[in-house]
Structures are given as C-alpha cells and as structure tokens.
Amino acid sequence: MKDMLMTIYNQLLTNEYIRDMTQIDNSQDYRIKFYEYPENGDRSGAFITIRPMQPLSEAYHASNKEMSVSFWYQIDVECRYRMTAKELQYQIKKEMKKLGFGQSSDGLDEYFSETKHYVDARRYTGNSKIYDTEY
C-alpha cells in the first residue's frame, strides 16, 4: 500500500528552498508534519502541515472496477514573515504540480496576533494515475 502523505512529504523535500526553510538546526529533521503541528513542535522557523481533507474516493471506473482514486489535501504554512509564507506556498504549488495536483479555490490567508504568525493555507486536488489504486 502506498502512502500519499509520505509521497507529498518526500516531494516537498526535493525542493531546496522548502528544505532550507523547514530544516531544524542542520539536522535531518524538518518542520513538516501531518494532520496537526504538535503544540510542543519547533516553531522557531517556518512550518508546514499537510492535512487530508477527505478520505480517498473513487475517481474513475471501467467495467465496475475502480481504476483511479481522488485525493484532496490542505497544506498550511505558518511563519513570522508574510513573504516567506508566500514564497513557500509558491514552491509547494510547483512541487504539487509535479505530483499531478492542482490548487483549488479554498484556503486561508491571515495573520494571527496571538501567535504572531502569518498563515497561508491552500488546498490541492488530484487523482492517482489510471490503474494505480494501491493507496
């Protein structure tokens, strides 16, 4: 069984800008998490949360057989600098396109004074390749 969350995570880490902005103290750890960013997580720099928006759903059928599945994810970027959030989302969009995802119209673009962080959240939809349903 494949794991689309890990596929997205690994694709994001192929991008040097994303890697540099989320790396924790020159280690092999990154501020990229799934579902929620931990309360005690490192917030000293930009961090990214990848959230599934719905369970996998069937996309295409042939002869009553599932041929493809559909994915819908939200990717949140939080950081102290607005333009860093924008550049990270630009780079994320490029990487998601490489995986066959397109950006949908939903999302969030706000500043939260209690955390002093800008939040830029965007949603992406995509289908697995035809005949590839092992997710």
Residue that the structure tokens 């959240």 belong to: 121
- Rounded to the nearest 10 degrees, the angle between the axes of helix 4-12 and helix 82-98 is 120
Run of H or E including 86: helix 82-98
Which residues contact residue 68 at a Cβ distance below 8 angstroms, ignoring those fewer than 6 apart? 58, 59, 60, 127, 128, 129, 130, 131, 132, 133
Measuring CA to CA, how many Å separate 118 from each of 8, 100, 106? 22, 27, 17
Tens-digit pLDDT profile for residues 4-32: 899 999 999 999 999 999 999 888 899 99
Percent of the chain past pLDDT 90, that is, above it, reads 61
In the predicted model, what is the mean pLDDT of residues 102-106? Answer: 90
Tens-digit pLDDT profile for residues 51-95: 999 766 655 455 666 656 788 999 999 999 999 999 999 999 999
Residue that the structure tokens 């959230």 belong to: 51
Q: How far apart are alpha carbons 21 and 2 in whole angstroms?
A: 27
Helix (H, G, I), strand (E, B) or coil at 9: helix
Write down the pTM of the prediction. Answer: 0.85
